C-alpha cells in the first residue's frame, strides 16, 4: 500500500515502448551517423541523375530534398545526444497542457476520424488567395490552415510534447510542402 503523501509518478515520454524513455546518447550517435550516411548516399545518387529540362523537372529533386531533410533530422538527433551526454542525464520533456491518456485503439480511431475530417474539409473549404511576399508570388489556400490544424491534432494524439513545438512543426512542414509542390513541381494542392 502506497503512502498517502507520496505524489503519483508522472509519465514524461511515451514512445513505442511505454516508459522506455530516451535511448542512450551513444546509441543516438550511432543512429545519427548511420542516417547521415544514408542521406549522403541518396543525395549523391540523386545528383547523378540526368536533368532533362529545368531544375524543377529534375527526377532527382524530390529524393535530394527528402535525403536532405533526413540529414537535418540526423544532425538534430546527434545534437540532442551530445547535449544529453554532456549533461549526463536525460532531458526532461514537459507534458502538453492537455494530457490525454487514451488507449491505443481510441487513438487509432481518432486518427481515422482526423483523416476523414481532413479530406472532407479540403473538399468543402475551398479558397485561394494569391499574394506577393518579397517579390515572390505565393498562394494561400484551404490546404495550409486545414493541414496545420489537423497535423497539430494528430501530433497531440500521439506525442506528449509542448503545443508550441507541434504548431511550429506543422507550420514549417505545411509551408515547405506547399512551396515545393506549387512552385517547383507546379502541382495544384487540394483545397484551392
Q: Measure the CA–CA gap between 50 and 58, rounded to whole angstroms.
A: 7
Name the β-bridge partners of 137.
Answer: 132
3-state secondary structure the chain: CCCCCCCCCCCCCECCCECCCCCCHHHHHHHHHHHHHHHHHHHHHHHHCCCCCCHHHCCCHHHHHHHHHHHHHHHHHHHHHHHHHHHCCCCCCCCCCCCCCCCHHHHHHHHHHHHHHHHHHHHHCCCEEEEEECCEEEEEECHHHHHHHHHHHHHHHHCCCCHHHHHHHHHHHHHHHHHHHHHHCCCCCCCC
Instruction: Give the pLDDT of residue 147.
Output: 94
- Structure-block grid coordinates of residue 187: 502541382
Q: Where are the domains of the chain?
A: 22-89, 98-192
Instruction: Give the pLDDT of residue 8.
Output: 63
Instruction: Give the pLDDT of residue 126.
Output: 85
Q: Can you list the residues of the chain whose pLDDT is less than 50? A: 88-100
Instruction: Give the pLDDT of residue 7.
Output: 64
Instruction: Give the pLDDT of residue 159.
Output: 83
Instruction: Give the pLDDT of residue 164.
Output: 92
Q: Measure the CA–CA gap between 172 and 164, rounded to whole angstroms.
A: 12
Instruction: Give the pLDDT of residue 56.
Output: 74
Total-model pTM: 0.50
| 192, 140 contact by CB (below 8 A) | no
Instruction: Give the pLDDT of residue 73.
Output: 93
If you average pLDDT over every residue of the chain, what do you get?
81
Amino acid at each position: 500500500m502506497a503512502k498517502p503523501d507520496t505524489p503519483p509518478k508522472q509519465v514524461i515520454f511515451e514512445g513505442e515502448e511505454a516508459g522506455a524513455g530516451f535511448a542512450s546518447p551513444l546509441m543516438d550517435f550511432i543512429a545519427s551517423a548511420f542516417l547521415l550516411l544514408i542521406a549522403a548516399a541518396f543525395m549523391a545518387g540523386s545528383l547523378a541523375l540526368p536533368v532533362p529540362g529545368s531544375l524543377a523537372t529534375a527526377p532527382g529533386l524530390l529524393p535530394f530534398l527528402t535525403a536532405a531533410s533526413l540529414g537535418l533530422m540526423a544532425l538534430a538527433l546527434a545534437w540532442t545526444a551530445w547535449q544529453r551526454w554532456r549533461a549526463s542525464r536525460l532531458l526532461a520533456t514537459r507534458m502538453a497542457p492537455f494530457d490525454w491518456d487514451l488507449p491505443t485503439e481510441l487513438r487509432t480511431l481518432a486518427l481515422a476520424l482526423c483523416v476523414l475530417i481532413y479530406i472532407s474539409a479540403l473538399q468543402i473549404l475551398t479558397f485561394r488567395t494569391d499574394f506577393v511576399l518579397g517579390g515572390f508570388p505565393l498562394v494561400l489556400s484551404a490546404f495550409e490552415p486545414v493541414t496545420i490544424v489537423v497535423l497539430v491534432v494528430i501530433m497531440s494524439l500521439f506525442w506528449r510534447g509542448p503545443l508550441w513545438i507541434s504548431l511550429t512543426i506543422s507550420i514549417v512542414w505545411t509551408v515547405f510542402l506547399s512551396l515545393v509542390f506549387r512552385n517547383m513541381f507546379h502541382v495544384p494542392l487540394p483545397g484551392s
